[in-house]
Structure 1
Amino acid sequence: MNNRVLSKFPEAITVGETPFTHDASEVVKYVQPERKELNMVFQFELNDLDAHPSNALIPVQYKLPDLKKVVKKWQEYMYENGGWNTLYHENHDLARSITRMLGIKDPRDPLRARGAKLLSILQTTQGGTLYVYEGQELGMMNVPADWDIKEYKDVATQNFYREVLDKRIKETGNSKPDMSDVMAGINLKARDNGRTPVQWSSAQNGGFTSLNATPWMRVNEDYPYWNAELQLNDADSVRSFWKKTISFRKANKVLTYGDFKLLSPEDETIFGYTRNLDNLTALVIMNFSKEKTTYSDAIVGMKGTAKFLHGNVTTGAVPSILLEQFEVTLEGWEGRIYIKDV
């Protein structure tokens, strides 16, 4: 494929999918430059964390150290073995990340925007190529929990619901068995959560289609107050933060090309790591809880002062901090990026 087609278009990039293996030594074979196959692939281990092996619609609880372990594995292995990562939290086969990864289910949650920005920091401060799915840059979330199964269009979701329903009818003799647990899993994990029409404006159907036309799927009910039009000129919106964060990433190549060193792997609240490239070091500290948290630790092998340059909370962060006596207090779902040079 490369010899016949891809090599004739050097300006193009190639992306594959490897959804059925978490073996980094196998995945990296597709993307090592000397093999002349693909530039990068989507591996699914990060997004399999909350999925039961028997069916992705059955949610599984995981802890922050589990997430750290997966990120560390792929960041280090690809960096050390001539590979390249894809960085994504959402796609057409996944529910919305702020619901799945942070548990945000109330569209009026006062920390919704901050949580979406926190995940932006996580995604944009790793090595690899960034992929942002439609609506993710707006902080779109899963559909309301009270939607009936009839609202879901995905065949896999409908089949799963029907299989469980039939089984329970046979087991109980009740023609209308309790399916609330199944619906809770579907509401959290179904692919249709990421397939609702993009919320462009407060107009009918979220501006997705005009006049009295009917979209292929119901628009999420929060569109009147959560849409692209409202965020365009709002400097504090999720969309504006994504733009700032991507610009910050482009201006600091260490975030794309540096090595990766995880901090405090067993901490169940703070996700922190360093990225190093030449004489530049980036320090990323994120609070993955709703509660204010203080984190203190000597950053191993680092001395001197790091400057606070970017974050999702505009107050409270001191301009610089000593790395030998590192201590920060973060608001719920707050993330910060510090930069240190020699």
Structure 2
Amino acid sequence: MGIPFNNLPSLFDQLDFRPRVHEFIHEMNTRVLSQFPDAITVGEMPFTRDAAEIVKYVQPERKELNMAFLFEQNDLDGYPSAPLIPAKYKLSDLKKIIKKWQEYMYENGGWNTLYQENHDVARSITRMLGIKDPRDSLRARGAKLLCILQLTQGGTLFVYEGQEFGMINVPIDWDIEEYKDVATQNYYKEVLERRIEETGNPKPDMSDIKAGINLKARDNGRTPVQWSSAPHGGFTSPNAIPWMRVNDDYPYWNAEVQLNDPDSVLSFWKKTINFRKANKVLTYGDFKLLSPEDEKVFAYTRNLNNLTALVIMNFSKEKTTYSDRIVGVTGTAKFLHGNVVSDAIPSLSLEQFEVSLEAWEGRVYIKDV
């Protein structure tokens, strides 16, 4: 039968807080990890929420781990005890979690991991922006918006395969048999059996469960990487059979198509990574959230020495106007990076500014030195 979903948090909480866990990790660091100075270590803490506890694992002076994967952001659209049941959340909820970890790690000598996808979650463009139609006209812009969000925070960047060119979840019309994850199959069968028993109908309506699986199932992030328009997306030879079908959009949405396209999602990721490297404030600066209750625009500043970066992102499908002021900062900031191509964008006065943003538009301004 396996461990029921609702027992997992308590089980892992016990593991996270074993009395000697820090002693053992410190010993591992001293006897093994310290012998490899170029190695990095990343802990995985899916059910730990207490920042004061987590930071103990990653503070350099404690000589345990370099950083840890935290799960609060990825749990926003679901429940740790029932990961295949979607949950609605507001943009302000996302802001609160990012603010928590950006500020706490910076102020307490820790270090963040920056990720939006991994092998255990569905694709971020579908989960965070609701893009299910592979030909959605805003798909590429949405993928670029999430790139800006991830790469303008402090920490170490982790990019999951296919994220860098905007892969999305599998089509809604895939049969349940296409999903290979045992947890997904068990969950579907349990609900099906219960509904048959409750209704007496041998074929009860399962559309709600299927929709939740399509949005949340781990297999959405495990389809073969779409390298090209060749059979199986170029993942394997034409006569081979991969463990899962490749997503149906692979003939026109793949790495090869995007490689030499300067406007593609892949090209934008490359540009944004280079932009981040050239502006250390985006990696090492502090984090100050603006307008925490705004449900359309996510904005914040990053500050390092005398340098200020201003990030403004419209997380709505509507054109919107955003205005604010940055307390304690004077001067103007120049627009240097964004996901919408337009005519010259004027500099902003950081003491009082107003910007007009297209749907899912993101911009990064850097204060003139």
The answer, yes or no, to whether TM exceeds 0.5 is yes
Give the % identical residues.
82
Q: Partner residue of 2:103?
A: 76
Where 1:62 maps in the other structure, the secondary structure is coil
Report the AA paired with residue 30 of structure 1.
Answer: Y
Report the AA paired with residue 143 of structure 2.
Answer: A
Q: Structure 1: how far apart are the matches of 2:368 and 2:69? A: 32
Q: Partner residue of 2:201?
A: 174
Q: How does 1:196-235 map to 2 (within 5 A)?
A: 196-235=223-262
The structure 2 residue matched to 1:267, chosen from 284, 294, 298, is 294
Q: Partner residue of 1:243?
A: 270
Q: Partner residue of 1:310?
A: 337
Report the AA paired with residue 299 of structure 1.
Answer: I
Q: Structure 2: how far apart are the matches of 1:220 and 1:319? A: 41
1:52 equivalent in alignment to 2:66: no
Per-residue CA deviation, residues 158-199 of structure 1 (Å, 9 max, x unaligned), is 011011111111111111111000000000000000000000
Per-residue CA deviation, residues 80-103 of structure 1 (Å, 9 max, x unaligned), is 011000000000001000000000
Q: Partner residue of 1:328?
A: 355
1:143 equivalent in alignment to 2:170: yes
Contact kept? 2:331, 2:368, Cα under 8 Å: no
Contact kept? 1:308, 1:336, Cα under 8 Å: yes
The count of aligned residue pairs is 342
User: In the superposition, relative to structure 1, how do residues 22 and 316 fare at CA in structure 2: closer, same or farther (>3 Å)?
Assistant: farther
- TM-score of the pair, normalised by structure 2: 0.92
Contact kept? 1:105, 1:144, Cα under 8 Å: yes
Q: Structure 1: how far apart are the matches of 2:357 and 2:328? A: 23
Deviation at 1:213, TM superposition (A): 1.1
Deviation at 1:324, TM superposition (A): 2.1
Q: Partner residue of 1:300?
A: 327
Report the AA paired with residue 120 of structure 2.
Answer: D
- TM-score of the pair, normalised by structure 1: 0.99
Q: Structure 2: how far apart are the matches of 1:28 and 1:141? A: 33
Where 2:84 maps in the other structure, the secondary structure is strand
Contact kept? 1:249, 1:256, Cα under 8 Å: yes
User: In the superposition, relative to structure 1, how do residues 316 and 62 fare at CA in structure 2: closer, same or farther (>3 Å)?
Assistant: farther
Report the AA paired with residue 59 of structure 1.
Answer: P
Report the AA paired with residue 210 of structure 1.
Answer: S
Q: Partner residue of 2:11?
A: none
When structure 1 is superposed on structure 2, of 260-269 and 307-316 the one drifting more is: 307-316
Contact kept? 1:279, 1:341, Cα under 8 Å: no
RMSD: 0.9
Contact kept? 1:28, 1:83, Cα under 8 Å: yes
